[in-house]
Chains A and B, each alone.
Chain A
């Protein structure tokens, strides 16, 4: 137990948490944007997966930032497909989302086979690139805490910093710009913005495009930093955990950050625990993020339900 405590309180654990949280956070922010626009985006998983593969394949031929951009565009494209079928052809958003997931699960393996010339499981024969880590070792010159700051802040993926910035940017967008107000209005009660002459369907389309782009950005981080390369189904439910985080985050970007951080901590625990407790079976350790997600979902939903009951009882 002492060992676990020592590990959890160490700066290396903090770095691990940032690494595991970043893909989750980006996907959660994507889910949040779609959710605010009134669409539960169950396709986050598939969008992340496509983001992973696109990033890996493009990075073989192009610099890392082009690969990341390509991943974002691929995710946005899937968001566009969702918007087309949901808004134009009136299909149920959840069924469309699962169709996207099926398309991604099969399509990525198929595309990988083509790209590698026969490998069906991994991209091990492709030399893909990584997202560079931001080196902040110059902070060392600060007396007293310099060394600590370097160990905490240096070496994170650039996308981690971007994700942290996006939390702020999305908050600003939602609560300080008219478009954010429109988006929230569209999700809350579409008839009102419609009557006010706000283009409801255009806003929903944009929210799905951005949602797909953010989820795929999370995928890019996963395949170009957390792991280098693609393996089939490498997202392993992270998109669905992010969907849980969206529900947990109370439809607020800071809430999304906290929820993603919670799941990121437990994923990081699952990363470090095999080294500490080799008597705990690996399967049970791998189960941790899913068990935590479902328990957190139950607990949070229950509290939200009670809050709603109290409020309606007060009137």
Chain B
């Protein structure tokens, strides 16, 4: 006879939640891919080949696997940054801007005399995180001091950071020859060493994994994290409980900014570039919204979602190169997944399928239906 302890019950409950959320996410992804397939079917001359490339190409060669894993590391970081602010129920959309200022800071360090020493790599990463944190701090402090809406101010800061990067790359940073919009290559001491030779998998992957654990620890094993989640759940209640919710909001946005800055340094100090160029991030930063939403802002789920979504992203890039279907079709998939996962959508016809299979409708199915 077994005693069902409280811990055992909560563990089962958590497993049930995970299974339900994973089912919803997969269902949403399948529906989105189905819609994308219909679109491709009507618009492409070789729809089957296009879809084949989308779904199998990233696994086909070591080089493409490298591209995929590199994307996963970056998607993980931006997903974590969005998860942090979403858990505090702030809608700061500034990761893109933080990436650019972070990359600028990293580039200035890497191209300074420090860059050529052993300190080039760590100081570059640190300064990038500092710059990103500052960029994330601005909308936070403006919100609590002035009541300025953080969505608008963070979006404006994105555009400002992009133009700042364009400006400094063109006029200020050292260039191989005048007129080009890229800086000199960083010295080797400032570039992340590759983990697997000949691919883009580099130290950034380790940073991403460490960041996952750090964010998880901060959110679920520190009092700051508890306060942050309380503020996100109900800011008024948190205030009554004596938590200074404004300080928590600002610190959450600043911490997310540091992650954005780290992503900036992962771009320019990583194997992908090793130099700074204009408009380098290819709209990856905003993909963090999808990753965070599908992962329900849970840091441990973020890399899993990033793994799947990164695959899809790479597949779309390769489909763009090899077939007549443009990679932008993935934007449709992304949007549908966000819409479905963020809403109270549940797997369609769960009861219907259960009836077909001759099984009674189970409790989780009913719960998901709500």
A-to-B contact residues, CB < 8 Å: 40, 42, 81, 85, 89-92, 94-96, 98-100, 102-103, 105-107, 109-110, 113-114, 118, 120, 236-237, 240-241, 243-244, 247, 281, 283-284, 286-287, 290-291, 293-294, 297-299, 301-302, 304-305
* B308 CB-CB contact with A under 8 Å: no
| A240 and B152 contact, Cβ closer than 8 Å, known pairs A99-B338, A294-B157 | yes
B156 CB to closest chain A CB (Å) equals 4
Instruction: Tell whether, in the assembled complex, residue B328 and residue A298 are in contact, meaning their CB atoms are under 8 Å apart.
Output: no
26 A–B contacts from the bound complex (CB under 8 Å): A85-B343, A90-B343, A91-B342, A96-B343, A98-B93, A99-B334, A102-B286, A102-B289, A102-B334, A102-B338, A103-B336, A107-B328, A110-B39, A110-B331, A237-B156, A240-B152, A244-B152, A244-B156, A281-B170, A290-B156, A290-B159, A290-B163, A293-B156, A297-B149, A301-B147, A301-B148
Instruction: Tell whether, in the assembled complex, residue A113 and residue B339 are in contact, meaning their CB atoms are under 8 Å apart.
Output: no
Chain A residue nearest in CB terms to B141: A298
B3 CB to closest chain A CB (Å) equals 39
New A-B pairs, 15, CB < 8 Å, besides A40-B149, A110-B39, A298-B153: A90-B343, A91-B339, A95-B338, A99-B338, A102-B289, A102-B335, A105-B328, A107-B332, A109-B326, A110-B328, A237-B156, A240-B152, A243-B155, A281-B171, A283-B167
Complex CA gap A304/B148 in Å reads 10
* Interface size classification for chain B: 35 or more
Instruction: Tell whether, in the assembled complex, residue B331 and residue A94 are in contact, meaning their CB atoms are under 8 Å apart.
Output: no
Chain A residue nearest in CB terms to B44: A114
B25 CB to closest chain A CB (Å) equals 14
Complex CA gap A179/B163 in Å reads 44
Interface residues of B in 316-350 (CB under 8 A from A): 324, 326, 328-332, 334-336, 338-339, 342-345
Instruction: Tell whether, in the assembled complex, residue A294 and residue B163 are in contact, meaning their CB atoms are under 8 Å apart.
Output: no
If over half of B's interface residues share one DSSP class (helix, strand or loop), that class is named, otherwise mixed; here it is: helix
B-side contacts of A42, CB under 8 Å? 151
A-side contacts of B151, CB under 8 Å? 40, 42, 94, 243
Instruction: Tell whether, in the assembled complex, residue A96 and residue B171 are in contact, meaning their CB atoms are under 8 Å apart.
Output: no
* B160 CB-CB contact with A under 8 Å: yes
B-side contacts of A283, CB under 8 Å? 163-164, 166-167, 170
B-side contacts of A100, CB under 8 Å? 335
A26 CB to closest chain B CB (Å) equals 18
**Max chain A CB contacts within 10 Å: which of B146, B166, B336, B339?**
B339
Instruction: Tell whether, in the assembled complex, residue B155 and residue A237 are in contact, meaning their CB atoms are under 8 Å apart.
Output: yes
B-side contacts of A244, CB under 8 Å? 149, 152, 156
Instruction: Tell whether, in the assembled complex, residue A281 and residue B167 are in contact, meaning their CB atoms are under 8 Å apart.
Output: yes
| A103 and B332 contact, Cβ closer than 8 Å, known pairs A109-B326, A301-B149 | yes
Instruction: Tell whether, in the assembled complex, residue B148 and residue A298 are in contact, meaning their CB atoms are under 8 Å apart.
Output: yes
Point out the residue from B39, B329, B331, B343 that lies within 8 Å of A105, measured CB to CB: B331
B-side contacts of A114, CB under 8 Å? 43
* B301 CB-CB contact with A under 8 Å: no
